[in-house]
Structure 1
Amino acid sequence: MTAGGRFTPGAAHREIVFLTGSGISARTGLGTFRGPDGLWALEPETEEAMHADLLPGSLPQLWRVWGGMARIARGHGPTPGHRAIARLGAPVITQNIDGLHQAAGSEVVAELHGSALRAVCLELRCTWSAPLSPGEGARAEDHGVPGACPLCGAPTRPDVVLFDEQLPQHALELAMRLAQRADLFVAVGTSGVVFPSAQLAPLAASHGATTVLIDIAPPVGSRTLFDHVIAEDAHEVLPDWERRLHRVGGTSFLDPFLA
C-alpha cells in the first residue's frame, strides 16, 4: 500500500515487528553512535572504555556515560516515534539501552544491548540485578545502586553490552522468533548492517515478510537490503501509520505534547 508514493501498512499486515536503533532516540539529545558526528568519533575515550577487557578499571567511565544517557532519556521521555509504535501494539527489537519503548507503553521489547536503567553484578555467575535511578557521576552510588554487589561483594556495573561481550541470549532468541513471525518487518533509525541485528531483516524476509527501512538518511546500499526505504523522519512517518491503521483522521490532540 502506498500514500503519495510512500509505503504504508495495510489491513493485511497483522504481525508488524520493529527493529529500532539510536536514530529513533536522537531527538531526546542522546545522539547516535556511528558516523562522523557519532559518539564514538566525537568522544574516542568513551569508545575505548566500552571494551569488556578494560573492566573493572573502566567502571567509572561506564557509570558516567551510561548513567548520563539514562538520565537524558528519562528526563526527555519517549518520542512521537516510540509512542506511535506502542499505540500500534507491535513488538520491538531494539539496539537501544534507554528504556524509552517501555516508557512509551510497548509491552514486548527485546533489548539486544541491555539496559542503562538496570545494574548487574560484574561477576557473571552472580544473579543480582536492580533498577537504577540515573544521575550524574562516576560511581554506582551516584545512580542509586550499591557499588558492591549485595550478594557476592563484586563491583556492580550498568547492564549494557560492551564490545567483545555476547548479546543476552534470551533477548536474541526473542528477536529471532519475532522476526520469523512478522509479516511486516520495519527497521527504524538503524544502519541494519551490524551483526547479529543485520540478519533479522533477511530472516523476516525469508519467512515471507515485507521489509521496510525508515531513516532520514538511509545508509548507502540499504535499498538493496529492504523492499522499501523511506528517507523521512520516523517521528512523522510512524504517527501517520498509526493514524491510518486506526482510521483516525487529522492529527492526534496529543501530538504537540509528544515532541
Structure 2
Amino acid sequence: MRPTGRFSPGPEHQEIVFLTGSGISARTGLGTFRGPDGLWALEPETEEAMHAELLPGSLPQLWSVWGRMAQIAAEHGPTPGHRAIARLGAPVITQNIDGLHQAAGSEVVAELHGSALHAVCLDPDCRWRDHLVPGTGPRPEDHGVPAACPRCGAPTRPDVVLFDEMLPPDALELGMRLAQRADLFVAVGTSGTVFPAAQLAPLAKAHGATTVLVDVAPPLDPSLRAAFDHVIAEDAHEVLPDWERSLHHVGGTSFLDPF
C-alpha cells in the first residue's frame, strides 16, 4: 500500500531516476551552498577561490575546503536518503562531490560536478587521476596524493568542477540519457537553478516522465516549480525510505539508517 497524502511511486514506475543536490547530504554536516546559510554566504573567501581563473594560486584553499568536505562525508557516511535510493536500485545524477551515493551502494552515479575523493592533474591534457585520502590541510600531501603529477609534473588538484569550467562530458551525457529514459524523475535537495542540471527535469518531462521534487524547503518561484508534476515539501530522509519500504513491501525503520 502506498503512503497516503502525497505522491509515491508504484509498480508502474520501472525506470526511476534521481537527481540530487547538496540538500540530501546536509544532514552529515556538509551543509548547502546557496542561500543565507549556505557556504558561499558564510565563507565568501571560499566562493572566490572556486573560480578557475584563480588557479593555481587558489590550490591551497581548494585542498583545504574540498579535503575537509570529503573527510566529513567519509566520517558521517550516507544518510537515510542515500541508502533508500541505493536500495531502490535507481540510477543517480548528482551535483554532489561527496561520494555518498557510491558509499550507500548506488551502482550508476553520474557525478556532474566531479569528485572530492579524487585528485587530477592541473594540466587538462594530462589524464592522471587517483583516489585520495580525505584529510585537512592546504597541501595535496595532506590528502595522500603528490603535489606534482606523476605523469607530467604539473600541480595536482581536487577533481571538482570550478566556476567557468566545463562539466565532465561523460557524466553529462550519462545524465541526459538517464533523464530521457526515466518514467519517474525525482529531484532531491537541489535548488533547480544551476544549469545544465536544471534542464534535466524538463528533459525527462518532455520524454514522458512523471517529475517530482522532494525538498524540505522547495522554491516558491512558479517558474522553478513548473518542471515538476508533484512538489513534496518534506524531509527526503523520511519520504524516500517510505517509498522504498512501500515498493519492497516491508515495514518499520531499517537498521541501516543511523540518523
TM range, normalised to the smaller chain? Answer: over 0.9
CA distance in 1, matches of 2:88, 2:2: 18
The residue aligned with 1:225 is 227
Task: Report the residue type matching 1:38 in the other structure.
Answer: G
Deviation at 1:249, TM superposition (A): 2.0
Deviation at 1:250, TM superposition (A): 2.6
Task: Report the residue type matching 1:249 in the other structure.
Answer: G
Q: Does 1:245 align with 2:247?
A: yes
The residue aligned with 1:72 is 72
The residue aligned with 1:52 is 52
The residue aligned with 1:120 is 120
Deviation at 1:191, TM superposition (A): 1.0
The residue aligned with 1:14 is 14
The residue aligned with 1:188 is 188
Deviation at 1:194, TM superposition (A): 1.2
CA distance in 2, matches of 1:60, 1:2: 50
CA distance in 1, matches of 2:29, 2:160: 19
* Paired residue total: 257
Deviation at 1:125, TM superposition (A): 0.6
**Partner SS state of residue 27, structure 1:** helix
**Partner SS state of residue 6, structure 1:** coil
Task: Report the residue type matching 2:237 in the other structure.
Answer: H
Q: Taking every aligned residue pair, what percent have the same amino acid on both sides?
A: 82
Deviation at 1:2, TM superposition (A): 6.4
CA distance in 2, matches of 1:200, 1:216: 20
The residue aligned with 1:132 is 132
CA distance in 2, matches of 1:143, 1:217: 35
Task: List aligned pairs for 1:194-205, cutoff 5 A.
Answer: 194-205=194-205
Deviation at 1:168, TM superposition (A): 0.2
**Partner SS state of residue 252, structure 1:** coil
Task: Report the residue type matching 1:208 in the other structure.
Answer: G
Deviation at 1:14, TM superposition (A): 0.3
CA distance in 2, matches of 1:164, 1:253: 42
Q: Does 1:215 align with 2:215?
A: yes
Task: List aligned pairs for 1:21-36, cutoff 5 A.
Answer: 21-36=21-36
**Partner SS state of residue 3, structure 1:** coil
CA distance in 2, matches of 1:240, 1:169: 34
Output the TM-score relative to the length of structure 1: 0.97
List gaps (5 residues or longer) in structure 2: none
Task: Report the residue type matching 1:196 in the other structure.
Answer: P
Task: List aligned pairs for 1:96-175, cutoff 5 A.
Answer: 96-175=96-175
**Partner SS state of residue 25, structure 2:** helix
CA distance in 1, matches of 2:225, 2:129: 41
Deviation at 1:254, TM superposition (A): 3.3
CA distance in 2, matches of 1:98, 1:249: 30
The residue aligned with 1:176 is 176
CA distance in 1, matches of 2:149, 2:105: 30
CA distance in 1, matches of 2:253, 2:112: 33
Deviation at 1:3, TM superposition (A): 3.1
The answer on whether the counterparts of 2:17 and 2:178 sit within 8 Å (CA) in structure 1 is: yes
The answer on whether the counterparts of 2:3 and 2:246 sit within 8 Å (CA) in structure 1 is: no
**Partner SS state of residue 195, structure 1:** coil
Deviation at 1:193, TM superposition (A): 1.8
CA distance in 1, matches of 2:192, 2:241: 22
CA distance in 2, matches of 1:127, 1:226: 38
**Partner SS state of residue 153, structure 1:** coil
Output the TM-score relative to the length of structure 2: 0.97
Aligned-CA RMSD value: 1.0
Deviation at 1:20, TM superposition (A): 0.1
CA distance in 2, matches of 1:254, 1:138: 34
Q: Deviations over 1:70-102 (max 9, x none)?
A: 000000000000000000000000000000000
